[in-house]
Structure 1
């Protein structure tokens, strides 16, 4: 029963008694009692039984209040004031008049309506917005905005602040979001009677609230529409914001920036901005999870005899990589702490993979040396084991 208007008679109802529990019953007991009574009195299992239907409605109403911690606290305080004679339900006598205090809410004033007006979603205090006639205009959160940004491989590793030019939905500048022609006066929407929503049945005793199609939730309508937005109340605005892309972000990541989306209405919060990040590839380095990858060309003699070679790191000084004698093609070496930044602030590793290079052209001296090597190893055929294994 979200978004119900507060009813004076609720101050005189004992919702705990309706559920058959004590006032200090824990939430688990409240839920258990509600499920039991709702099951026993559900109209789908007792069609045509008006008494059970009314019982079911009363149980649902009670649990909607005391089953919610915030509503329950406000309801308890309301009951305490009522039980102590702090206000009365009308007629003579001392104390305050409950109906008058609740009426203050409709007149835009303070009092009990402001204290408990948001008990059932009506809003209260600084969140309330009123229009002509004192009807409450509920805050509406702004729309979320989607955009994309392409950054370099290095910026993805180190983090970067970028400028984003955004065009987003906003209130129409001509009518300030009212949807009416400037200078004309609105009237309360006849379709929702100023509530901003209409009740739609979903079967049985249940119903849901939907945004009023007549006023779009604005609660007011104008006989003459704004010529700029044609009555929608919406326009577009362009702005530039600074967005911080965290270090270590991956290609395809979706970053959420809270409150950077479209502005809200009637004092509502702004929406969020979602940035889809595309990382440009690097000419030398690659990436696997939080590790950087690098293919290192080495010569035949370096792989066969062993060597110490210099390799680059991303944004840092070169490091020395020791290649042991007899290193095969494709072997990967790990250089710790030279990878991408992780979520905890530490860094991954650099994975350097050996790629043994075969020269395309040999001069006379190199050819003679290779032929001498062939003669020296002629008695050790490499593929003998290959044929033996193929026959098993």
Structure 2
């Protein structure tokens, strides 16, 4: 099964895209891949993928959950993604010319360099790796970090100019904030290198930020890690990335969770596993055994004749789901310990005990069923080899 693509990538939009941008992208792609219009192999699957992405990103609540927790925050199998969503394509309000213009106007020079005003540049996204313990992953925790990033200048409020500074139109881009490079029909639009996208230049640039409108600073960020997070999970803090230019929004901060290995427990999804050593006596006769959990010790019953490798389950002693709707279990793997450093008297007693249960016949079969079953298999194996040689 192919790995799911990021929903923003599916629609071809930025993570800070507004609702109208997402809607336009959806309509454009839906028109292109609609099964009634596109008969190419894979078009229908592509159409379903587009519909699924739009169903999440067009819903503010679902989009917020997806932005925060990725695919773990939304479940496509529970409502909203089915065959229903295809009905809005046919009628009014769908101007193909407008959609074509949105998709291709700039690259073919449709703007013609005539657009006035600053070229807004959203801030860059940042990444942060956070290491937490298993206990912190189970219960959730708030952590504070300091990160170096570009912040909006508090002296000029992002304008890049000192108070009272006069401005004039940038002679390079003529106030557009962008320039077009290249010849012929295909031209590339770039931020003006002279005014840095503002469309104007100042006679008195801000001294604190050197006219950039932003500067580097160490900022404290608090990350609220919810209970139930798993190793490798990504959280998104909207607007905590680099400051944008010319009034553009800030980028996002992507927080990647790393859960440290635990000295006792192993994790598999919502379940925990722990090895519990017991004595031969307890394994043979049964009894009670104390086992650790993340909430403290509990007592479990070991049945008579328990073998090494047996798993005992402590229900509800695992890890809660990300949204707290369910809790996993704790599986205790029994390890029967063989006694070591025995004195001569203990060894003799052990030999007498072994003689009493490992003789031939029904007694041995009842006391050591695993041993008898193993040697029965060995005997059958060599008998089959002997018969094979005789038949040659």
- Report the TM-score range of the alignment, normalised by the length of the smaller protein: 0.5 to 0.7
Q: Is the 8 A contact 2:127 2:253 kept in 1?
A: yes
Contact 2:289 2:299 in 1 (8 A): yes
Is 1:337 aligned to 2:316, yes or no?
A: yes
Pairing partner for 2:379 from 358, 367, 388: 388
Deviation at 1:296, TM superposition (A): 0.5
Name the counterpart of 1:152.
Answer: 133
Q: Choose 329-338 or 136-145, whichever is displaced more.
A: 136-145
Is 1:315–2:295 an aligned residue pair? Answer: yes
Distance 1:222 1:183 in 2: 10
The TM-score normalised by the length of structure 1 is: 0.59
Secondary structure of the residue aligned to 1:137 is coil
Selected match of 1:142 from 113, 120, 123: 123
8 Å contact kept, 2:169–2:201: yes
After TM superposition, the structure 1 = structure 2 runs for residues 170-209 of structure 1, keeping only pairs within 5 Å, are: 170-171=151-152, 177=158, 185-200=166-181, 205=185, 207=187, 209=189
How far is the alpha carbon of 1:158 from its aligned partner?
A: 0.8
Q: Deviations over 1:350-373 (max 9, x none)?
A: 011111111221245532331122
Per the TM alignment, residue 322 of structure 1 is displaced from its structure 2 partner at its CA by 2.0
**Shift of residue 180, structure 1, vs aligned partner:** 6.5
Does the 8 Å contact 1:157/1:249 carry over to 2? yes
Question: What are the within-5 Å matches in structure 2 for residues 113-152 of structure 1?
Answer: 136-137=117-118, 139-152=120-133
- Please list, as runs of the form range in 1=range in 2, the aligned pairs for 1:219-238 lying within 5 A after superposition: 219-221=199-201, 232-238=212-218
Cα deviation 1:180-214 (Å, max 9, x = unaligned): 788864432223222122234597x4555332333
SS of match in other structure, 1:367: helix
CA distance in 2, matches of 1:219, 1:273: 29
Contact 2:124–2:250 (CA<8 Å) still a contact in 1?
Answer: yes
- Aligned pairs for 1:77-96 within 5 A: none
Deviations 1:3-45 (A, max 9, x none): xxxxxxxxxxxxxxxxxxxxxxxx89x969xxx9xxxxxxxxx
Q: Who is 1:48 aligned against?
A: none
Distance 2:260 2:174 in 1: 55
Q: Distance in 2 between matches of 1:68 and 1:151?
A: 48
What is aligned with 2:327?
Answer: 347
Q: Is the 8 A contact 1:305 1:324 kept in 2?
A: yes
SS of residue in 2 equivalent to 1:301:
helix
| Contact 1:139–1:266 (8 Å) recurs in 2 | yes
**How far does residue 160 in structure 1 lie from its aligned partner after superposition?**
0.7
Whichever of the two has the greater Rg, that structure is: 1
Structure 1 gaps of 5+ residues are: 1-26, 37-61, 70-119, 122-133
**Which consecutive unaligned segments of at least 5 residues does structure 2 have?**
1-26, 38-94, 103-109, 365-370, 385-392
Cα distance in structure 1, aligned partners of 2:120 and 2:279: 70
Match of residue 324 from structure 1: 303
Q: Deviations over 1:205-260 (max 9, x none)?
A: 45553323333322234578777766655421222122110111112222111222
What is the Cα-based RMSD across aligned positions, in Å? 3.6
**Partner of residue 164, structure 1:** 145
**What are the equivalent positions in structure 2 for 1:367-378 lying under 5 Å apart?**
367-376=347-356, 377-378=358-359
Shift of 1:66: 6.5
Q: TM (normalized to structure 2)?
A: 0.59
Contact kept in structure 2, 1:143 and 1:169, CA below 8 Å: no
Change (3 A) 1:210 1:152: same
How many pairs are equivalent?
273
Query: 1:182-331 maps to which residues of 2 (within 5 A)?
Result: 185-200=166-181, 205=185, 207=187, 209-221=189-201, 232-316=212-296, 318-331=297-310
CA displacement at 1:285 relative to structure 2: 1.6
Conserved? CA contact 1:165–1:239, under 8 Å: yes
C-alpha separation between the residues in 2 aligned to 1:190 and 1:63?
37
- Greater shift, 157-166 or 270-279, is seen at 270-279
- 8 Å CA contact 1:137–1:219 kept in 2: the answer is yes
User: 8 Å contact 2:150–2:215 — kept in the other structure?
Assistant: yes
Partner of 1:99: none
